[in-house]
Structure formats: structure tokens, C-alpha cells
Amino acid sequence: MSLSLLIFLPLIGFLFNGFYHLKMARSEQKSSAMISGVIATGVMFAAFLVACTYYYMLSQLPADGRLFEQTLFQWMKLGGLNVSFALRLDSLSSLFVLIITGVGSLIHLYSIGYMSEDETPAKYFSFLNLFCFMMLNLVLGSNLPHVFLGWEGVGLASYLLIGYWYQDKDKVLAGQKAFIMNRIGDLGFLIAMFIAYKFVGSLDLIDLQKATLTPHVTTVFGLLIFFACTGKSAQIPLFTWLPDAMAGPTPVSALIHAATMVTSGIYLLTRLSPIIEASNTVLTVIGMVGVTTAFVAALMACAQTDIKKILAYSTISQLGFMFLACGVGSFESGVFHVMTHAFFKALLFLGAGSVIHALHEEQNIFKMGALRAKLPITSITFIAGWAAILGLPPFSGFFSKDEILWQSLSSPHGNVMLFIIAAASAFLTAFYMTRLLVLVFFGKSRVDPAKQKHIHEAPMTMAIPLMVLGVLSLVGGWFGEHHEHSGQEMMVMAASVILAGLGAGIAYQKYKNFEGEEKTNQFLMSGMGVDLAYLSVFAKGTGTLSKWFTTYVEEMIVQRTLRWSTAVVGLSGNLFRVVQVGSTQAYLMMILIAIVAIMAWVFLGVGQYGKL
């Protein structure tokens, strides 16, 4: 067995489904969701088994030597730069690989049911496999360019899947927005690589971890890497693409925009933690941005009416928690939250998908209600996810979120302010999630009567992943490393559970018998106008700049100069009109004349050497 199986299995699935899709599309036939889905799920499950084996083999190694490495080939070698295409598995990447292949397999399986009515399921599954291939490259790559390959590759897959239904222009534009905002972050990644090469002379991750850089370089490098992370992981300032990304099929939102891709930023920061930690400025910025994002996005989530948008803002907010953990130097608790969040947020998204599926593409939570009886599996598993994200003991979120709250207060880089904002965000989380839960599954039904009759529970392919993730959301927190809790930590724990209970209680009281539609705060609903501001500043700005360049610089200066100089020579057109008329012989003559003229001119010139 070799490490490369981990990336080649999804690659095979991608190629198979890609060619299968093309073959069917060429003959205008519909590809089979069953064939393509089984292949795609099969390769992912096989990769998951490989990942489990490696996880076990890794745990058998001595603690300080837990590393597998496989060099596939040399990629770019020039001068002092030597970039190889090598996979490296250690405990950090092993955890990510388990999440990607494990949660990934479940979501592939779920998709077989969810996409069964779709026109081009083979295309969908090929993109999904492509995503997993790229994501695995991201976490297994042994050097920054290799990570960057995965980094941009997952962005590509995300673009393709958000705009999957490409006949809808809005969905395409949502994909485009995601891609371009990610590319803005990627520029930070690129420049960070240039800096690393200039000052370290290597882009290998192990070399970088060991490198000692001047404080100034460390800070600049760390900030650039973090800027790249704000793009991929949807943090302030580059977060506005994620709510729009909900245009994609719901399983995609679960896999890419909740469980895996958006956590790449945490992976990268943790991977480079020796450099990140070395600069207090960088840590402070990460912590501040993380906690602000956590709070602001939670506020925005409270004002959404679309079930997927609520979960999208919730994801941004939870990612903020993870960055907060990194910012206070507690990378391991950030990574722990990546794992529990992957379970419960994937579950919540898939549950939402099941609801949307049952209600025939209805996404407004004020047109749902009392679905508990009709969707028993969905509602029970959804409640498990709800309990986990609230951080109710003993569900998974309890362990990871409390660890972050505790670290934000007690770590050397933490402080009371970070803790208070984070706790307030936890309170808001409880509020908006309970609001969602109550409005969808409890209270009175506000479902469109026409759709009422057709409500049905999800098929088995969709129900199984829900149940597995439900169990994981319950027990996932026990996988973390446990330590003795001090009295102070117990206080924090108690406070956060009380806050969650309070938030949940308020929301329950407010929404249990809610009727009609809520008039939500437009400012919060639209993401505090950040999106609009970006649109008018950057999108319009780019348009205006290109307009100015075209009209003022290009037309008025460059082209006009050219036109004048043409006119000055005074031959404009006349000579060359000859070219267009006439026969073949005339053209031939002209070629001959031109050659002779140039030759003569040159050799006459050569004869004049001495006089020059």
C-alpha cells in the first residue's frame, strides 16, 4: 500500500465520471446517478479505508517519529529551488485526511439520493471527486507550492460546484465571486511563498517550520498567510462569498463550505504554527479577526430567513472560533473544533438538504414548521447536530468550543475581552440555531398547502449518512485529548452552558408559536452591507478603472499617438489598398519587390560601414 493511493483513488473517480459524463452528454443521454454515484462513493470509501490503515500505522510509531513520506516525482527544479511532488502524512494531516475521506464518503453517498433527479449526475460526481483529490493534495503536500496546488484546486472545484446549475446566471456569478475572492487571498499566498524562498531558500514545510526569520519578515509572512486564509476560510474581510456559495447543491455546501475546504486556513496556520507563533502581531491580528468574525457572523445569522444562509453564516462564525483558537496560540483546540464542526455542520447541512428535498426546493424557514412528525430521522439527527453546535454536554461541540473559550481567557495570548466576545457569540449561536430548529421542526406548520401532501422522508442513501453523522456529533468530542480541569475552567464551562441554555430558551419562547413571516433586520440580513460596499468599491472600481484606461489612456493617448504618426508619414491606406486588389501575380511581385528592396537597403547600408 502506498500513500499515493489516497490521492489517486479520487483522481480515478474524477476521470471515470468525467469521461462518462462527456460520453453521455455528446449523445444527449442522461448519465446514471447510480453508476456514477457508486463509483464516486466507492473510491472515496476505499480512500477512507486507506486513511484508517495509515492512522493506525501512524499510531504504532513512536510519538516523535510519526511521519510517512512518499516522493512521487520532481516537480520544479531551477537554481536553488527544488520543489518535489511528495506526500507527507503526520498526525495533523492524518486527522484532516480522515475527515475528508470519512465525511466525504458519507456526503458522496447522500448525494446519490439527493442528485438522482438531476440531469448530469456524472458531472456532479466527477467534480466532487475532483474536489476531494485537490483537498487531499492540500493537506498531504510536503511543500508550499504543492499545498497551493490543492489550495487553488479546491477553489476551482468549489467554483464548478457552486455554479453547477450553470444555466442560472446568478449561480454562475456566485461561483465567480467565490473564485475571485479566493484569488485575492491567493495573491497573499503567492507573495508569502516568494518571501519564504528569498529568506529561507526552501519552500519545504519542514524547512519552514525550522527556519529562523527576522521579526519583520516573520510578521509580514504570517500576515500574508493569514490573508490567504481569510479568503479560503471566509473570514473578515473576505467572507462575503460564502453565503452566496449556497447556490450550489446542498451536499456541496456540507462538504466544501462547511466540513473541509473552509477549514484549510486552520490547517495552513497550524502547519506553519512555529512561524505564526513567533510574531505577537500576527497572533493578535488572527485572534481579533477570528473573534470579530465569530460575533458578527452570528449576529447576521440571527437575521436570515433562508435555512442554508443561516447555516452559512453559522459556518463563518464557527470558523471565527477556530481562528480565535489559533490566535491565542492554541492551534490544537482549533483543529479539534475543525473535527467536531465537520461532524455537526455536515450533519446540519445534510439535514437541511433533506428538508429542502422534502419540501421541493423550499428554503425559507418561515414556510416550514412542524416537520418533526413527517421527517423523523431528519429531525432526530438534526436535533443531535443542534445540541452539538450549542455545546451542550456531552455532545461533541461542548468539548471543542469550551476548550476554545477557556483558551481565549487563560492562554498567555488570551484576554478577558476576547473571552467576552466569544461567549457572546456562543450565546447568539444558541439563539439562531434554536430559532432555526423550532421554526423548521416544531410549532405550527406554515408549509405551502400545495406542498404539504408531498412531504416525504429521505431515501436510505440520504438517511444513513444522517444517522452516522448524528452518532459522530454525539460522541465525536470524546476523541479529543482530555486533561485535568481546574476550578476556574469548570466555571467557564458552566458559564458557557448557561449562556447556551439562555439563548436557546429565549429563542424557543419567541418562536415556538410563531406565525407568518418575521420582519428581520435588513442591515443584518444583507451582511451589514459589506457585500454591497465591496460591489461598489471593488467590482465597480475595477470596471471604472478599465473604462478609464480604455477611454483615456488607450484611446486618447496610445491610439491617438499612433494615428498621428501614421498620418504624418502620409501614406495612410493608399499604398496598402493596392494590397487588397489585384491578382496573385501582383502579390507575388510585391513580395519580390519588398524582399529586394529590403536586401538592397541593407547591403547598401553595410557598404557604408566605414562612414558611420
Partner 1 sequence: MVNYNSLTVLLTVPLVASMLAWFIPKGIQRLYAVFSSLCILALTLYQAAPVLFASTSAAVIEHKLAWLPEIGVSLNFRLDSVSGWFVALNAIVAILAFSLKGVWYRKNPRLFTSLGFFLVSALNTAFLSADLIVFYLAYEAVFIPMIFMVGIWGEQAKATAVFRFFLMSFLGSVLMLVSIFYLVNLYHEQSGIYSSNLFDLIQATAGKNSPNLKWCFIGFFLAFAIKVPLFPFHGWLKDVYTLAPMPATIWMSAILSKLGVFGFIRFVSPIFVESSQGYQGILLTLAAISVVYAAFLAIRSNDSKSLLAYSSVSHLGFVMMGVFTFNPGGNASAILLSVGHTLVSAMLFYILHLIQERQTDLGLETSHGFAKLYPTLFTVFFIAVLASMSLPGTLNFAGEFLVLIHSYAASALCTIISGVGVILGAVYMLKFYQQLGFGKNTTVTINSNTGAKDLAGYDLVVLSVLVLMLIYFGFQPEIFLKGN
Window 143-162: residues binding partner 1 (CB under 8 A): 145, 148-149, 151-153, 156
Buried b (16+ CB within 10 A) or exposed e, 49-61: ebbeebeeebeee
Check residue 179 for interaction with partner 1 (CB under 8 A).
yes
Chain mean position to CA 134: 12
How do strand 68-78 and strand 81-89 relate by DSSP bridges? antiparallel
Please report whether residue 406 would count as binding partner 1 according to CB under 8 A.
no
Q: Does 604 bind partner 1 (CB under 8 A)?
A: no
Q: 208 near 272, Cβ under 8 Å?
A: yes
Q: Give the interface segment with partner 1, choosing from 45-53, 347-355, 396-404, 588-596 (CB under 8 A).
A: 588-596
Grid cell digits, residue 501: 441554555
| Residues 194-233 close enough to bind partner 1 by CB under 8 A | 194-195, 197-198
Site for partner 1 in 335-354 (CB under 8 A): none
When binding is defined by CB under 8 A, the residue of 412, 487, 516, 607 that contacts partner 1 is 607
Q: Which amino acid is at 126?
A: S
Closest separation in Å from C-beta 270 to partner 1? 22
- Name residue 58's amino acid: L
Per CB under 8 A, 602 contacts partner 1 = yes
Residues of span 59-78 touching partner 1 by CB under 8 A: 73-78
Contact 72, 86 (CB under 8 A): yes
Closest distance to partner 1 from the beta carbon of 73 (Å)? 7
Contact between residue 20 and residue 36 where contact means Cβ atoms under 8 Å apart: yes
3-state helix, strand, coil in the chain (%, to 5): 75, 5, 20
Task: Identify the residue among 32, 35, 52, 183 touching partner 1 (CB under 8 A).
Answer: 183
- Rounded to 5°, the CA angle 496-259-495 comes to 0
Choosing from 7, 9, 174, 193, the residue that interacts with partner 1 (CB under 8 A) is 193
Q: Which residue number, 188 or 290, has a Cβ lying nearer to partner 1?
A: 188
Binding to partner 1 in span 538-557, by CB under 8 A: 542-543, 545-547, 549-550, 553-554, 557
Task: Tell me the Cα Rg of the chain.
Answer: 29
- CB nearer partner 1, residue 180 or residue 278: 180
Which CB, 56 or 194, lies closer to partner 1? 194
- Long-range CB contacts (< 8 A, 24+ apart) of 166-175? 168/247, 170/247, 171/247, 171/248, 174/241, 174/244, 174/245, 174/246, 174/247, 174/248, 175/245, 175/247, 175/248
Among 61, 373, 537, 591, the residue binding partner 1 under the rule CB under 8 A is 591
Q: How far apart are CA 283 and CA 274, in angstroms?
A: 11
176 binds partner 1 (CB under 8 A): yes
Residues 94-133, one symbol each (x = binds partner 1 by CB under 8 A, - = not), give: ----------------------------------------
Please give the residues from 15 up to 54 whose contact with partner 1 meets the rule CB under 8 A. 21-22, 25-26
CA-based nearest residue to 130, from 169, 104, 110, 111: 104
Q: Is 612 in the site for partner 1 (CB under 8 A)?
A: yes
Q: Which stretch binds partner 1 (CB under 8 A): 188-196, 234-242, 319-327, 351-359?
A: 188-196
